[in-house]
A and B are shown apart, each in its own frame.
Chain A
């Protein structure tokens, strides 16, 4: 699972810092206790020395026992193993009704023939309290430190990575189809980010120029083709008017003419596709789809006299689309034309328009293969040798531009194209 840089950073801090701090706490505690042990020992030794000095100078002048201070015993009741080693004990104090802890040290002395064992006491109660308090304070400080480190680290890395996030956002919003190459900051103050921006800029510029060249090429090629096409057309038309025209020549001229017309139709469509790709159609205003559709339906009804398919129409009034009106005209015209031209004798066309979608259903020949593939350039249905194979590609391109969802459904000779506008 991938996480953000900051999360990763915080996570590793939170994993390792507490361990280090725990180790620090333990070490600190051990150090402190050993120092305290040493201090107690010093104090106990000092007391031993003072009492022994006093005992030597006046053997009967001092009391043998003072609770919590010292015990002087003759002989050797304390086992030899305990001599000279600090031990712990506790004494009951009635005043406080509690047992208090003491550190004690017993040493053995010889005065003449008498052996004395002196045990000195040093209260460890307060010092233990101190140890606990200091350790707790230490733990609290460590916790604060942990929090501070995490917060500061997050803040610092956020500032540090800002140029990176800026770059990322710019590149993410960049669309080679729609925008000019973005200007990435040249100087971010961080070497690595400068290099990153530099590399990205080079990459984008290159892609943009390649894309641009290609666009230009298609457009120029299409434009250049117009002139030879115009020449062929004019020569054929002049030939049609010559007096020596006979049936054989006329048939050949007709073939040349048809091929040339198809070529120029294809060229026009390619040029149009390129222009849509190049975004050369300015955003339009609200287009009256209902009126346009009605106009074209009437037009086709007039146009296809003879044996037109039955056209059934259900139009919602006042349907508007934010788009370029020429493109919407091309879209509607192509869809209607397809539905009428690729129909069968005695067939029908069913046109429904609502504010959300346009559905055009028509009878036709049974289609083999995936109907969605007809949207590809130069893909044709069965026997359409006279068509350019670009009509539906244009439809798809226009739908793509305006984010309409377009679907081609086909079941047993019933073709249905549904166009969901999806504009709010």
Chain B
């Protein structure tokens, strides 16, 4: 087991370089957006702390497919070791852990002024729990059971917020989404989208080349109380409109329906 006190000089150097590369994004700002994105996503490190092994495996598998460098921890001490060892771009943290609570871990992280982005996953969904976590410095909060595609979208959003200073656009093929102004443009000009359609497109973009279930989409684009959202059957018409608008501006056949399970945005 490795703890902070056992660090060798070589390991210290390794940590320092890692830290430097992860934080000093400005140094690379001369690179074009796509190169920046390439560098970042190639190097993105993700730590998943979840005591339920089966769920941990799912999350790890999912993000490995997303080209993240993933590590998992199932207990409090395991998590502490991993955090000491490396710096992560994003930590997915379960609140209920054997050997200590996720909140303790969060306090530990923030007391150490580690800048890792933290997304809490918890079975508790009261507003108080949410506020308590955000007050402690969590970047986002997701209630179990969640959709992996939703977690993915949150992770991507967090990484964009943390590391894409100056580069607030998402580009895909000839599609370009400007995040601050919520503007979507293609080679055929700006695409006028409603709020729901914009959210939908961004969500699919975050999960590009993956099947996103209709229920996940429904829950994502609905901003009412999570207990009672409308059913997934109403996603259909919004997808239809979005496809039509994209086609009009020269981006046809981007969104595919997958056997009625859900939709997939393909490049």
CA A406 – CA B206 in complex, angstroms?
44
Interface centre among A233, A254, A337, by most B CB within 10 Å? A233
- Given A233-B147, A341-B230, A254–B124 Cβ distance below 8 Å? no
> From A263, which residue of chain B is reached at the shortest CB distance?
B145
Interface residues of B, CB < 8 Å — how many? 47
Q: Which of B50-66 contact A (CB under 8 A)?
A: 52, 54-55, 58-59, 61-62, 65
Of A232, A303, A333, the residue contacting B225 (CB under 8 A) is A333
B241 adjacent to chain A (CB < 8 Å): yes
Shortest CB–CB separation between residue A279 and chain B, in angstroms?
13
Of A238, A264, A305, the residue contacting B62 (CB under 8 A) is A238
CA A302 – CA B238 in complex, angstroms?
9
Of B54, B223, B259, the residue contacting A245 (CB under 8 A) is B259
B228 adjacent to chain A (CB < 8 Å): yes
Shortest CB–CB separation between residue A398 and chain B, in angstroms?
11
**In the complex the two chains form, is B210's CB within 8 Å of A241's CB?**
yes
**In the complex the two chains form, is B144's CB within 8 Å of A329's CB?**
no
A104 adjacent to chain B (CB < 8 Å): no
> From A257, which residue of chain B is reached at the shortest CB distance?
B213
A261 adjacent to chain B (CB < 8 Å): yes
A171 adjacent to chain B (CB < 8 Å): no
B196 adjacent to chain A (CB < 8 Å): yes
Of A250, A305, A333, the residue contacting B259 (CB under 8 A) is A250
Shortest CB–CB separation between residue B247 and chain A, in angstroms?
17
**In the complex the two chains form, is B144's CB within 8 Å of A296's CB?**
no
- Given A223-B124, A241-B211, A326-B127, A305–B145 Cβ distance below 8 Å? no
Interface residues of A, CB < 8 Å — how many? 50
CA A269 – CA B125 in complex, angstroms?
12
Tell me which residues across on chain B come within 8 A of A237, comparing CB atoms.
58, 62, 147-149, 211, 213, 216
- Given A240-B211, A257-B213, A329–B126 Cβ distance below 8 Å? no
**In the complex the two chains form, is B149's CB within 8 Å of A230's CB?**
no
Of B55, B210, B237, the residue contacting A234 (CB under 8 A) is B55
CA A276 – CA B77 in complex, angstroms?
37
**In the complex the two chains form, is B261's CB within 8 Å of A303's CB?**
no
**In the complex the two chains form, is B225's CB within 8 Å of A229's CB?**
no
A229-257 vs B: 1/0 string, CB under 8 Å? 11111111110110001110011011001
Shortest CB–CB separation between residue B243 and chain A, in angstroms?
13
B67 adjacent to chain A (CB < 8 Å): no
CA A329 – CA B152 in complex, angstroms?
28
B231 adjacent to chain A (CB < 8 Å): yes
A299 adjacent to chain B (CB < 8 Å): yes
> From A227, which residue of chain B is reached at the shortest CB distance?
B52
Q: Which of A48-67 contact B (CB under 8 A)?
A: none
Tell me which residues across on chain A come within 8 A of B226, comparing CB atoms.
268
A304 adjacent to chain B (CB < 8 Å): yes
B157 adjacent to chain A (CB < 8 Å): no
Tell me which residues across on chain A come within 8 A of B55, comparing CB atoms.
227, 230-231, 234
Interface centre among B224, B228, B259, by most A CB within 10 Å? B228
Tell me which residues across on chain B come within 8 A of A296, comparing CB atoms.
224
**In the complex the two chains form, is B225's CB within 8 Å of A238's CB?**
no
CA A303 – CA B222 in complex, angstroms?
8
Total A-B residue contacts, Cβ distance less than 8 Å: 126
> From A242, which residue of chain B is reached at the shortest CB distance?
B211
Of A232, A234, A333, the residue contacting B228 (CB under 8 A) is A333
**In the complex the two chains form, is A250's CB within 8 Å of B261's CB?**
yes
A280 adjacent to chain B (CB < 8 Å): yes
- Given A226-B123, A227-B123, A254–B261 Cβ distance below 8 Å? yes
**In the complex the two chains form, is A241's CB within 8 Å of B65's CB?**
yes
A306 adjacent to chain B (CB < 8 Å): yes
A131 adjacent to chain B (CB < 8 Å): no
> From B219, which residue of chain A is reached at the shortest CB distance?
A261
**In the complex the two chains form, is A234's CB within 8 Å of B261's CB?**
no
- Given A257-B213, A302-B195, A391–B228 Cβ distance below 8 Å? yes
Of B195, B227, B230, B261, the residue contacting A269 (CB under 8 A) is B227
**In the complex the two chains form, is A299's CB within 8 Å of B215's CB?**
no
B34 adjacent to chain A (CB < 8 Å): no
Shortest CB–CB separation between residue A390 and chain B, in angstroms?
9
A81 adjacent to chain B (CB < 8 Å): no
Tell me which residues across on chain A come within 8 A of B260, comparing CB atoms.
250-251, 254
A321-339 vs B: 1/0 string, CB under 8 Å? 0000010011001100100
B194 adjacent to chain A (CB < 8 Å): yes
**In the complex the two chains form, is A233's CB within 8 Å of B145's CB?**
yes
A96 adjacent to chain B (CB < 8 Å): no
Interface centre among B65, B147, B195, by most A CB within 10 Å? B147
**In the complex the two chains form, is B230's CB within 8 Å of A234's CB?**
no
**In the complex the two chains form, is B145's CB within 8 Å of A230's CB?**
yes
Tell me which residues across on chain A come within 8 A of B259, comparing CB atoms.
245-247, 250-251, 254
Tell me which residues across on chain B come within 8 A of A235, comparing CB atoms.
54, 58
Tell me which residues across on chain B come within 8 A of A264, comparing CB atoms.
145
B20 adjacent to chain A (CB < 8 Å): no
B33-60 vs A: 1/0 string, CB under 8 Å? 0000000000000000000101100110
CA A254 – CA B214 in complex, angstroms?
10
A sample of 15 cross-chain residue pairs with beta-carbon separation below 8 angstroms, ordered by A number, consists of A223-B123, A226-B144, A230-B145, A231-B54, A237-B58, A237-B62, A237-B148, A237-B211, A240-B262, A257-B215, A280-B126, A303-B196, A306-B234, A330-B228, A333-B225
- A233-B147, A238-B58, A275-B126 known, 16 other contacts, Cβ within 8 Å: A227-B52, A227-B145, A229-B145, A231-B58, A233-B145, A234-B62, A237-B148, A246-B259, A254-B259, A257-B213, A302-B194, A305-B234, A326-B225, A329-B225, A330-B225, A334-B228
Q: List 10 tightest A-B contacts by C-beta distance, closest first.
A: A250-B259, A230-B145, A234-B58, A306-B237, A226-B123, A240-B211, A229-B145, A305-B237, A226-B144, A230-B144
